[in-house]
Amino acid sequence: MLPSSVEIECFNKLKGWRLHFAWLRLMDGEHEAALRIAIDGAVSIFQRKFFDKPYMDEPVVLSTRSLLMNGGLSKERCVSSFELLAKRVFSGQGIEAEKPGVIFRDLLSLKSMCPWSVMDISQVSFPLLFRMGKEGEMLNQTDSNFSLKGCPVLCDRVGKIWTPITLADETGIDASCSDILLVCYSPIEQARKVAAKTHLGSMVHMTQSFRFVIERAFLPKEEL
């Protein structure tokens, strides 16, 4: 278990983005039933809400797509991890229920309609840097390599990379991981609608599976 004195440090270099971090620690006991109930409830609410209207037209989704275009990505590539998750949910694949950290990421993404990443905080080398992907940078995925040129990327001191346009981070975390770092990539102009802090608090209270250690937010080139 990591000492709670570890500091979350991040330099945000991308205009328009607000990063909300939460270090959560897994509570003792069995959490499968509570997390299963949370999954079923969130998926049901999401499917009912967008049964007859497209989630792609929601202000948060449109603002996120607009920010993704800033790096020169084509319209086809400006799809956030939230949209990938939404497609997965509507296709009947549901939410992967084996890793508590990944469950939290997915539920928070569905509730906020924003991309989130999850990582094993013991494997993160601070400080973090949020910047635009460079020529030649690639993200290795299970079935292919993913070009990061023009994509927003969050990287640590030793070069590990996360991004708001893929769900690949779920492969880097084990079901037994006790300390997770969640990050919400939110358009600043939609921060109130995203309500990252509110959704985090609600999830922690409802499931009783994690507790807060540290929570921090970072705006471009400044710290809150």
- Residue 72: what pLDDT? 85
- Residue 214: what pLDDT? 96
The 10s digit of each residue's pLDDT in 17-59 is: 999 999 999 999 999 999 999 999 999 999 999 999 999 999 9
- Decide if 164 contacts 139 (C-beta within 8 A): no
Q: Pick from 154, 169, 28, 36: which is nearest to 97 by CA?
A: 36
Find the helix packing angle between 100-112 and 81-90, rounded to 10°: 100
Q: Which residues of the chain have pLDDT under 50?
A: 223-224
Task: State both tokens at 53.
Answer: 């209207």
pTM score of the predicted model: 0.94
- Residue 142: what pLDDT? 62
- Decide if 150 contacts 73 (C-beta within 8 A): yes
- Residue 119: what pLDDT? 96
- Sorted by sequence, the CB contacts under 8 Å of residue 202 that are 6+ apart come out as 111
- Residue 33: what pLDDT? 95
> Domains of the chain, with CATH numbers?
10-218 (3.50.40)
Which residue in the block uniquely carries the two structure tokens 């989704």? 61
- Residue 224: what pLDDT? 45
